[in-house]
Amino acid sequence: MAKGKSRFFCNQCGQESLKWMGRCNGCGAWNSLVEEKVAKNESASSLTSRFGTQGISKPIHIDEAVDGDESRFSTGIQELDRVLGGGLVNGSLTLLSGDPGIGKSTILLQSAAQVANRSKVLYVSGEESVQQIKMRAQRLQVKNVNLYLLAETNIETILEIIKNIEPQWVIIDSIQTLYWNEIGSAPGNVAQVRECSGQLLRLAKDLPVAITLVGHVTKEGAIAGPRVLEHMVDTVLYLEGERNYPYRILRSVKNRFGSTNELGVFEMLGQGMVEVSNPSAFFLAERSQGAPGSVVVPSMEGTRPLLVEVQALVTPTLFGPARRVATGLDYQRTVLLAAVLDKKIGLHLGQQDIYVNVAGGLKIVEPAVDLAIVAAIASSSRNQMTDPETVLIGEVGLTGEVRAVGHLEKRIREASKLGFRRCICPGQNRKYLKGDVEIEIIGVEKVEEALSVALGG
């Protein structure tokens, strides 16, 4: 190998520097430059020239370009297809990340077995031997499918094998274990992750073949390695959930071929990941109907309405300033709604600790849950429970008005399916609601009206 020399790369944006600096000139991040060994006359700027297509590129008139309709294929798991936007796209590069032991390898091996019933799949592992993968496959009852296993970490060897067997889908578990001989640093370092990902990206576009990378996460929950990795791939998925609980939530935070608002729900069992066909019933299964501070709201996760429980606990402050804690909700939004209750309703929450939580570990960011948060806080403060068969929907403004939200009909139908008999919603939505619904609809204009109906005065 050529004599190597040091370069400094930013682990946030990939900017290269000849010397260490406290602040990156590219993205402005502090203490983000790390030292890497590179081969002589090799640098990150030569990535395109090494792995780009042969020949000279020429501009093409837009009318002469090939139709952009992407070719998809199903993973065989409906919840995974939903988050991907309908399935995997040929020639795409997907990154799946999550905490250790959360189930990343399990769900990929299950979906690989489904795809291998129709076409060829290559599963590459840099962390486990072929025998270890076979043991997991036996537990998941994967057999008699066109699935190939490979235990390898050399990127050049992996690329050659992919070209030889021409699979439709390639799974790399994980990108942090791969290395390229021309770089003297250890696998998982910034330069190795960037270079190996670049080679896989070029191969995915040239063949084309769908490639899925498994990525590690840091203790802060971010994807390990350079931030440029997230910019290179087409789709970034996160698998979330507590290891002590059986449910897992799959989210899309970047998707060039679909929505980033979709959500998939799974349950981890002995036979692997099992799809949850009715997430609303799943998250409301342990709901306590006779307790103050509990309110149900239909939230939209992409195209799917999902009923979740918003819980609140209001208790006197024993010492120091009052605390405001929001779990699964936007903290600033929660503080704002508490101020609206204090000013417009007169609850006097200045000396009260307020804790608000979304049951089940979900994260809800849409403003349609505002009215449920307000009702939950007021219910706990007054120690009055809300009607257990009522759902609340609506955005709350600073002047105490209840604003309209989208997809009201979908939300109401989901609530009606689970046996709820009444819905408190914005009056503007009520005026334009079309069709008959098997649920009582109560339109309100102000927060005072909503609380009067929900809490009985």
pLDDT digits (tens, 9 = 90+) for 47-101: 444 444 444 567 888 887 766 556 889 999 999 999 998 999 999 999 999 888 8
pTM of the predicted model as reported, rounded to 2 decimal places? 0.76
Residue 279 marked ligand-binding: no
Annotated binding residue 22: no
Residue 433 confidence class, pLDDT cut points 50, 70, 90: confident
Q: Is 381 annotated as a binding residue?
A: no
Q: The domain 282-455: what is its CATH number?
A: 3.30.230.10
241 known ligand binder = no
Is 99 labeled as ligand-binding? yes
Nearest-angstrom CA–CA distance, 320 and 190: 45
Which residues is 219 bridged to in the sheet? none
Per the rule left: phi > 0, alpha: psi between -120 and 50, beta: everything else, 243 is alpha
E strand intervals along 292-409: 294-301, 304-316, 324-327, 352-358, 390-392, 395-396, 402-403
Q: What does the domain layout of the chain look like in residue ranges?
A: 5-46, 71-277, 282-455
Pair of tokens at residue 177 = 């274990």
Residue 43 pLDDT: 44
Q: Cβ atoms within 10 A of the Cβ of 60, count?
A: 9
Using the structure block, give the residue that is written with the tokens 């072929």. 130
DSSP tag of 81: H
Contacts 24+ apart (CB under 8 A), 321-325: 322/349, 322/350, 322/351, 322/352, 322/353, 322/354, 323/353, 323/354, 323/355, 324/353, 324/354, 325/353, 325/354, 325/355, 325/356
What is the DSSP track for 363-390? ----GGGHHHHHHHHHHHHHT-PPPTTE
Residue of 403, 310, 415, 436 lying closest to 364 (CA atoms): 310
Cα separation, 306 vs 159, whole angstroms: 42
Residues 6+ positions from 349 with CB-CB distance below 8 Å: 314, 322, 338, 341, 342, 377, 381
Largest CA distance in the chain: 80
Q: Cβ atoms within 10 A of the Cβ of 230, count?
A: 16
As a whole number of Å, the end-to-end CA separation of the chain is 80
Q: Is the pLDDT of residue 4 over 60?
A: no
Q: Which helix (H) or strand (E) holds 73?
A: strand 72-73
Q: Which pLDDT band, with edges at 50, 70 and 90, does 143 fall under?
A: confident
φ/ψ (deg, to 5) at 120:
-90, 135
**Are 368 and 393 contacting, i.e. CB atoms less than 8 angstroms apart?**
yes
The whole-angstrom separation of Cα 369 and Cα 384 is 20
Mean pLDDT of 128-150: 92
pLDDT at position 320 is 85
Task: Write the pLDDT tens digit of every residue in 203-242.
Answer: 999 988 999 999 988 766 666 666 778 888 999 999 988 7
Asked whether residue 32 is marked as a ligand-binding residue, the answer is no
pLDDT of residue 369: 96
pLDDT value, residue 221:
61
264 annotated as belonging to a binding site for a ligand? no
Most confident of 18-22, 320-324, 437-441: 320-324
For the domain 71-277, what is the CATH superfamily, name and number?
P-loop containing nucleotide triphosphate hydrolases (3.40.50.300)
Asked if residue 37 belongs to a known ligand binding site, the reply is no
How does pLDDT run across 376-399, given as a tens digit for each residue?
A: 999 999 999 998 999 999 999 999
> Which of these, 302, 295, 312, lies nearest to 279 by C-alpha position?
302
Before 174, cis peptide (omega within 30)? yes
The sign of the dihedral angle between the CA atoms of 188, 189, 194, 196 is: negative
Residue whose token pair is 């440029």: 228
More confident residue, 379 or 429: 379
pLDDT at residue 430, rounded to an integer: 81
